[in-house]
Structure 1
Amino acid sequence: TPSQHDLSQLEVYGNAIGLAFQIVDDILDVVGDTAELGKTAGKDALEDKPTYVSLLGLEKAKELAEEQYLVAAKAVEGLSEGLSGKERLIEIADFIIKRTH
C-alpha cells in the first residue's frame, strides 16, 4: 500500500496534471482546429470566458502548462521505488501536455 508520502506525491501529481489539462484545453481553444477538437475552436473567446490564455497570453500559458508537467513528473520521481505504475503516470502526463484535441 502507498505510504503517506506517496499519497502526498500523488496529490501533487493530480493537482499539477489537472491544471496542465485545463491550460492545454484553453490553448487548444485558441490554436486548435474545430474538426480536430470536436468542438468549436475559439468558443471561449466568443463567450468572453476568462481562460489561462486570455489572462496570461499564449506563450505564458504554454510555459505554465510545461511547469505543471514538470511538477507532476517530479512528484512521480518522488514516489517510492517499489511502487508500480510510475511509468504509466508519466505516460498520462505526456499525453495531456502533448495532446492536440
Structure 2
Amino acid sequence: MVSLNYSKQRSREYMKSGCSFVWNATNTTKQMRQQLINFFAGYRARIRIVYLEVPLEEILRRNRERAAAVPEAVIQRLANRLDIPDITEAHQVDRIAG
C-alpha cells in the first residue's frame, strides 16, 4: 500500500510538470474530498471527479469475493455517510452507474 505522503509528493511532481494523472480513492464525504481538492487547487489543477454509483448490494457481493474483504460494518458505515459529489466541488463531475 502506497502512503498518502508518497502519493501527494508524486502528484505534486505531476502538477508542477503539467502532466495529467488520476487520484484513485474512496472519498465518501465532501469533507474528505475537500482536503484533496484544496491540495490540487493550490497547484491550479483542473479537477474532475468521477463518481461510480454502484448499488450497496452489489458492493457487498463484490466485497465478499475479495481475498481481503472489508468488514461489512465498515462498508455500511461509509454508505450511511455518503455525500454524492456535486459540481460545486470540481471543474467537472461525472456520475457513472456501475
Q: 1 or 2, which has the higher helix percentage?
A: 1
The question of a shared fold, defined as TM-score above 0.5 by the shorter chain, is answered with no
**TM-score normalised by structure 1 residue count:** 0.28
TM-score (norm 2): 0.29
